[in-house]
Amino acid sequence: MPRTLQYRFDGPEDAPVLVIGPSLGTTWHMWDRQIPELSQHWRVFRYDLPGHGGAPAHAAASVADLADRL
């Protein structure tokens, strides 16, 4: 099973990590306007869901398979 995930970090490497994800049908870019403020205090990790933005789509037999890929 491919383990490809499109992701990005913003902010200081030594800051606490804040994980933010997209809603269905969007990409990590939905957070672009908030990143300048959030990244002053946090190491922000954001990602694209499979088949959205830069993340390739992969066939999955079930919702559990999709969850395993995240």
The number of domains in the chain is 1
Which candidate, 48, 3, 42, places its Cα nearest to that of 21?
Answer: 48
Question: How many Å apart are CA 9 and CA 61, to the nearest integer?
Answer: 30
Summarize pLDDT for 24-65 with one digit per residue, the tens. 788 888 899 999 999 999 999 998 777 666 666 666 667 787
Q: Is the pTM of this model over 0.75?
A: no
Summarize pLDDT for 6-32 with one digit per residue, the tens. 788 999 999 999 999 887 788 888 899
pLDDT at 2 over 60: no
- pLDDT, residue 39, reads 98
Domain annotation covers residue 2: no
Domain annotation covers residue 1: no
- Give the domain range for residue 59: 7-16+23-68
At residue 69, φ and ψ (nearest 5 deg) are -75, -25
